[in-house]
Structure 1
Amino acid sequence: MTRHPFLDRQRLGRELKDTLRLAGPLVLGQLSAVGMNVIDTVLAGHLNARTLAAVAVGTSIWSLTLVLSLGVMMAVPPSVAQLHGAGRHGAIGALLRQALWLAGSMGVVLGLATAFGGPLLFDLIGVDPVLATDVRHFLHAIAFGAPAMALYFALRGLSEGIGLTRPTMYFGLLGPALLAPVGYVLMYGRLGLPALGAAGAGIATALALWVQMLCMLCYIAHHPAYRHLQPFGRRERPNPRAIGELLRIGAPMGVTVFMEASLFVAVALIIGRLGADVVASHQVAINVASCAFMIPLGIAMATTVRVGHAVGRNDGEGVKMAGLAGFALTLAIQCVSAGIFFGFPHAIAALYTRDAVVIALAAQLLVLAGMFQLSDGIQVAANGALRGLKDTRTPMVITLLAYWGVGMPVGWWLTFPGGFGARGMWIGLIAGLSMAAVLLTLRFHRQAARFHTAVDEGQRRDAAAGRA
């Protein structure tokens, strides 16, 4: 009599250990990406208020380019992971080469959209004309980094897909390490160079992205761990079928992360109508919540790889166990985060500002952030597990419904007709994230069970054919 896979503690322990091993470097890699925005903000803030405002507006627009690139290139890790799990190493190099064609072309398009479409967007938003020139210069400069960023995500996806996540940490940390000195020199006009302000921040970020990508490229090309994949073993023209398959998986993920990011941009714009103190308190709380989110996001990325490996080797129990490990780790981490938010909201807010009013308002929002830690963590964990199954279209519909069909309407109603102020928008976020968590978890349970059944039926057919 076999035990239910969810009760196999020994196997669960191994899965937890393997997921943690993958997740640690990924968490640091994600935090380093946030660190680049923090560095731009700190350097701009110490220069002058105008530069800080321009970089803040420009960064919010650039973030949409970033999440679109990341979302589409999220197709690479599960695709590589399934091939790796199946032992089809020869096909991984060909997949990477097609992913690079897609990333390069997408990066050029997104770069042009950032440089020329970004200014149209902030004109529609109604950005202060005093800032418009600096924002435009920032976007024109940082747009040159869009192709490098997309290519870097593709290369990173290859490494993560075969279970090598430390390069994500190494080259992720390289970005902020380069950005800090280069940004300082260009923005402040040191070493005999003119002070470029916001434009200098854009140039420095673009340069850091290109260095990150080129270093990752050289690492994969020369490190022995990738040699059997022959990632650059031959030159290939774009293959419409292979690129189409990547887009079939990646485009829904791109839409999902774009709509999630745009939701938070919309929340910030709505809260912007409530006054300077409220805006400042929201900025503090959302910055803390965003940093905390990088931990479950890293675990979700590791879960994608573990589920993908199990799919590749036709291991139905392995798929369930990988998903369970991801959920368990996420719940543990998010309980700690929630406890910190509940226990020390005023102390956390005081790290950002000395303004007593802002601290009090931010503390209220941090308590609400503590309330959505579990739902936020579970929804991203479920999404990561579903990506390992290459299930992306239905999760896209679920997240759109949860974020924009529930979260935004509830938040808007509570903020204005309900009179809750900024807390209303955050309660709306709790509602939307909670719905996403429930529906995505049910979706993974159903898809994992379906895959397990398909594997069992295939094994029975093979056994019957063998006896015949």
Structure 2
Amino acid sequence: MAPIPENQGLRHDVIRTLVLAGPLVVGQLTSFGMNFVDTVMAGRIGTVDLAAIAVGSSIWAAGFLFVLGVLLAVSATVSQLDGAGRRHQVGEFTRQAIWLSLMLAVVLFLAVRSAGWIMGAIDVEAQVAELSMDYLRAISWGAPALCAMMALRFFSEGTGYTRPTMYVGLLGIACNVPLNYVLMFGKLGVPAMGAVGAGWATAIVFWLQLFALTAWIAWRPRYAPFALFARLSRPNAREILSLLRLGLPIGVMVFLEGGLFVGTALLIGTLGALPVAAHQVAMNYAGLMFMVPVGLSGAITVRVGNAIGRGDVLGARRAGLVGMGLATCFGLVSATVMLTVPEWIVGFYTSEAEVASLAVSLLFFAAIFQLADCLQASAAGALRGLKDTRMPMVYSIIAYWAIGLSCGWFLTFRMEFGPEGMWIGIITGLSVAAVLLSHRFLRITQQRLRLIR
């Protein structure tokens, strides 16, 4: 076959990345959209319910992000096995990943139900802390379904079939809105539960999504070569430990990145209900926009991993660079929107003047970190495709905690910048991570290219 011209190859990489990423972006947006819906609906109830969901969902996110990070190793491994033509190994690997997901679900369930000490340690207001714990107890019942669904989702993504992520996400948001309406506001004879109702609604949605995705994979012929449901395998300690060795550093990295935002939310929670409600509004919207580079990072992982599986290092490098470029372009668009129409954005969340005013000021800082956030997310996805996980974990410790969170704490509580100080810390941490991760991907792929030349 004649070589593909450079410009045609670049165009092919862009199109292929967007085709893979499109459903993932929709899936991520709809998944995060459930928290968006919770926040908007809680804002119509009152500041305490809004603050309770802000704190409770932050703690839930911290635990879930660790589990999510560990299971991200599934898509990286499946994509490399598929690229290498070793499809016969994918089914058994995924069955072991499901066992691991259920083990992680038990840990997540117990951890979030024992999180009261966290709010006590940082002195969250008693009323907010009590309501947050009730929210966590409710949503925790969805942990097994969510974790198993993630394992199945990453299996499908690793094979290059990303549409189910979109379908499951759309199902989730479609079910979450009416369930929230009934359980939060007390409709159809159900007592009004406020923020706690949002927790129950989300748990129910997780189970519906698991059933739907399982049925889809069992029914669609394209999954037949992997024989995922051909038999029920017993837990294999060696396989699970091997997956953990790859996934744990990713889990720690994702946890530390998420921990920067969770720690920020919890520390701001000590400043009172008004700052934490405003922070939740601004961070919720910024997080919603972040789902786009997260979706892109999943596609980048698959494309880089598949290229490595076929032994195409140059293709892996270009796939990573194209994905990072696309993510950065989106960051520019997102930042522009936040800077030009912040009042319009905040108006969707709350009508309380004091909350809205502070949230608008925080969106300015959110706009500043868009480029760094998009670049670090896409670079991390590219490194996962290379199965490079340990040094990125170290970088996360340095960038997010040693620099970002400590800088934010100092500015907020020592320099008395208020919540804006924590946001400056976020900007600093994400910028350092973006530089370290993108540089590492460039260096590793360049070294591998030199070895084969």
The one of 294, 298, 319 equivalent to 1:297 is 294
Runs of at least 5 residues in structure 1 that lack an aligned partner in the other structure: 458-468
Following superposition, the deviation at residue 33 of structure 1 comes to 1.6
Contact 2:47/2:274 (<8 A) preserved: no
The one of 235, 238, 249 equivalent to 1:252 is 249
Please, which moves more after superposition, 43-52 or 445-454? 43-52
- Opposite residue 327 of structure 1, the aligned amino acid is M
Following superposition, the deviation at residue 417 of structure 1 comes to 4.0
Q: Deviations over 1:86-107 (max 9, x none)?
A: 1111111111100001001111
Q: Distance in 2 between matches of 1:196 and 1:359?
A: 25
**TM-score, normalised on structure 2?**
0.92
The one of 76, 79, 82 equivalent to 1:78 is 76
Following superposition, the deviation at residue 48 of structure 1 comes to 5.2
Alignment of 1:18-97 (within 5 A): 18-47=16-45, 50-97=48-95
Following superposition, the deviation at residue 347 of structure 1 comes to 3.8
Contact 1:69/1:149 (<8 A) preserved: no
- Opposite residue 383 of structure 2, the aligned amino acid is L
Alignment of 1:248-327 (within 5 A): 248-274=245-271, 277-327=274-324
**TM-score, normalised on structure 1?**
0.90
Q: Say how many residue pairs are matched.
A: 452
The one of 346, 349, 352 equivalent to 2:346 is 349
Contact 1:315/1:452 (<8 A) preserved: no
Please, which moves more after superposition, 44-53 or 325-334? 44-53
Alpha-carbon distance change, 153 to 323 in structure 1, aligned in 2, over 3 angstroms: same
Alignment of 1:416-455 (within 5 A): 416-454=413-451
Q: Deviations over 1:34-68 (max 9, x none)?
A: 11112223344444555444433322221122212
Higher-RCO chain (CA-CA 8 Å, sequence separation at least 6):
2
Q: Deviations over 1:353-374 (max 9, x none)?
A: 4555555543333232222211
Alignment of 1:40-439 (within 5 A): 40-47=38-45, 50-115=48-113, 117-131=114-128, 133-274=130-271, 277-354=274-351, 358-439=355-436
Q: Distance in 1 between matches of 2:177 and 2:51?
A: 19
Secondary structure in 2 matching 1:75: helix
Contact 2:131/2:195 (<8 A) preserved: yes
Identical-pair percentage: 49
Report the equivalent of 1:466: none
Contact 2:62/2:258 (<8 A) preserved: yes
Q: Distance in 2 between matches of 1:365 and 1:136?
A: 27
Alpha-carbon distance change, 191 to 269 in structure 1, aligned in 2, over 3 angstroms: closer
Contact 1:252/1:392 (<8 A) preserved: yes
- Opposite residue 141 of structure 1, the aligned amino acid is A
Secondary structure in 1 matching 2:379: helix
Please, which moves more after superposition, 292-301 or 48-57? 48-57
Q: Distance in 2 between matches of 1:196 and 1:422?
A: 30
- Bigger radius of gyration among the two: 1
Q: Distance in 1 between matches of 2:194 and 2:397?
A: 38
Secondary structure in 2 matching 1:164: coil
Please provide the CA RMSD for this pair: 2.4
Q: Distance in 2 between matches of 1:417 and 1:126?
A: 17
Alpha-carbon distance change, 61 to 279 in structure 1, aligned in 2, over 3 angstroms: closer
Q: Distance in 1 between matches of 2:355 and 2:393?
A: 36
Q: Distance in 1 between matches of 2:211 and 2:52?
A: 29
Contact 2:75/2:155 (<8 A) preserved: yes
Following superposition, the deviation at residue 75 of structure 1 comes to 0.7
Alpha-carbon distance change, 80 to 108 in structure 1, aligned in 2, over 3 angstroms: same
Following superposition, the deviation at residue 169 of structure 1 comes to 0.4
Q: Distance in 1 between matches of 2:171 and 2:426?
A: 33
Q: Distance in 1 between matches of 2:125 and 2:251?
A: 30
- Opposite residue 286 of structure 1, the aligned amino acid is M
Q: Distance in 1 between matches of 2:428 and 2:361?
A: 17
Following superposition, the deviation at residue 268 of structure 1 comes to 2.3
Contact 1:69/1:153 (<8 A) preserved: no
Following superposition, the deviation at residue 274 of structure 1 comes to 4.7
Q: Distance in 1 between matches of 2:78 and 2:300?
A: 14
Secondary structure in 2 matching 1:74: helix
Q: Distance in 1 between matches of 2:366 and 2:178?
A: 33
Q: Distance in 2 between matches of 1:336 and 1:55?
A: 29
- Opposite residue 90 of structure 2, the aligned amino acid is I
Q: Deviations over 1:415-467 (max 9, x none)?
A: 3444533333222222211111111111101211233344x27xxxxxxxxxx
Q: Distance in 2 between matches of 1:146 and 1:11?
A: 42
Q: Distance in 2 between matches of 1:354 and 1:58?
A: 22
Please, which moves more after superposition, 303-312 or 229-238? 229-238
Secondary structure in 2 matching 1:143: helix
Following superposition, the deviation at residue 288 of structure 1 comes to 2.0
Q: Distance in 2 between matches of 1:387 and 1:340?
A: 30
Following superposition, the deviation at residue 222 of structure 1 comes to 1.4
Q: Deviations over 1:367-398 (max 9, x none)?
A: 32222211111111110000001111100100
Contact 2:59/2:262 (<8 A) preserved: no
